[in-house]
Structure 1
Amino acid sequence: MTTLSKEITTLLQEGTVIPAHPLVLTEVKQLDEYRQRRLTRYYLNSGAGGVAVGVHTTQFEIRKPEYGLYERVLDLAAQEIAAAALQRPFIKVAGICGHTMQAVSEAEIAVKHGYHLGLLSLGGLNEWDEDQLIGHVREVAAVIPVFGFYLQPAVGGRILSYRFWEQFAAIENVRAIKVAAFNRYQTLDVVRAVCASERGDEIALYTGNDDNIVADLLTPFSFEVNGQRKERKFAGGLLGHWAVWTHAAVSLFKDIQDCRNAGYAGCERLLQRGVEVTDMNAAIFDVAHGFHGCIAGIHEVLRRQRLMEGIWCLDPDETLSPGQSEEIDRVIKAYPHLIDDGFVHAFLNE
């Protein structure tokens, strides 16, 4: 069983920006290694505190035998992070999914390439009962520290009970949970279970609720546990939304941390920023069409910034929806303070 170092644990608990890393392809749908590496360097230079590779934003199709890209993309990102020789901790998260044999194999690959945590998706296991899922998590946690993932039902997840999250939080090597339930009731189940757990202080909470990023990060959650008040906050975010305009996201996250540390002075301004972020997310994630164009929307922003050549995906059906490009035009024009075109231009010129 691998464990986390003290410096990675501290950063994870204090909170940081973790973008979900896209996959960069050529027009003939081959891995564009040069731009894949360059995109990792963009996240490093943007000030992000980590990166998640092999996750939904990286496209689940990378695991298919005809592509066989899972280990390759993990390796490329790990190489670039090592080459950067950062003088600060940087969290490497590997996406892990599938039935137990596949998930354990992916965890072993992640450990081989120096990843700190495995973001464990339970998508595709909807026929399993919750006890089976807990057994599955334990087997993966025996290989790599687990970053739990409450995936919203709209994109392949399922409703999980409070009892499930109680059991999940009790697993020794669970070190963080990303909540992307897109439902406040389901979000409360996770936070309340972590507050009630004897291991609660060891588990960092990260928002994945792209419709509520800023408000999640500002909100203190408080519950009574055995006659005492327990309070938790979302430490940071692991987000597909933060795969774009990352330098601006890092700046916004620092403002949120400063606000929390200053007794919530200036909270009203940040809540307004949160509405703007949600509006931007609706455009890039294609909420109007049930998230159909969410990966293509991320690619489109990166293409416009010249970090990608095109919006190509392994799945030919992964494309922009009608009107999505115009919506991206609208939010870029409406919220120039939340984009980082100037930073990207300077980065590319270097």
Structure 2
Amino acid sequence: MRMITLTSAAVVSLMFAGSGFAQEIAIDKPECVAPAKPGGGFDLTCRIAQSGLKGIIEQPVQVTFMPGGIGAVAINQFNTNRTDDPNAIVAFSSGSLLNMAIGKYGQWNEDDVKFTATAGQDYGAIIVKADSPFKSLGDVLAALKENPAGVVLGAGGSVGSQDWMKAALLVRAEGIDPRKMRYVAFDGGGDAMAGLLGGSIQVYTGDVGEIVSMMDAGTIRVLAVMNDERLPAPFADTPTTVELGYKEAVWPIIRGYYMGKNVSDEAYNAWVSAFEKAYGTDEWKKTVTGQGLQPVALAGEEMSAEMLKRVERMRNIAKEAGLIN
């Protein structure tokens, strides 16, 4: 069971013209909502918008945090009190799409948001503390095979979430029943990383994009990236799950933004235009790649159509995994 990556048509090169940006786009009070606590992937996604849209939008993008239910509080807020907010975008990831697919957001699903633009593509990663006795992914899986409950795994998502799915794919690769693993759920990647560094979990099934600063600080070690091909620096020396022999343990992650479903066409198109202009700049590319992500330039209706397809694919995968009927 493997997540489906964006098609080659969707992973486009940065081909928008890099000139003619003298006219900045007017968005009154631009805000990016990170639906978790500071730290982790949603925070990262908003920081990309904040940095990457400088010089494109007249006012600086403010980042606010709305933790709760791995995005549930945010999607509820943008379907009740802020459904037509013209100034706000909300960060989402493949995990959010999975939650929409399996009904974890209650009555709200992919039809209740207006997908706006992509930030980039991220990848799952298997992470331990720098002083962990686990020196390789093989060490972790050997310990799990000996005693599935003897290794404490954890991440920023509950059972059935994308972070849980990463761990489940990993243990299934060794023929271990995922229901037997010891998994601790946190409310976001920041809390999960704190749990790893604090010793409450031993292995963190996180994301490449949220760990670059920790790698620089020397506090963690990345055992594997959940992809088929190696990523560029700073992950060029990190093996992939595929090259280590775990071909099904692959997890690409799209990161992007949505708006309330009742926003005006004028407001929606202003944000779409801002992202399309940003995609053509060196600053955007540096911002995205500096966080360990692969640039993916999709905005507007094309991006929305791709996300709707992806949700449906995830719904089918969730059915195969027995998460939904």
TM over 0.5: no
TM-score by length of 2: 0.27
Which structure dedicates a bigger proportion of its chain to helix? 1
TM-score by length of 1: 0.26
Which structure dedicates a bigger proportion of its chain to strand? 2
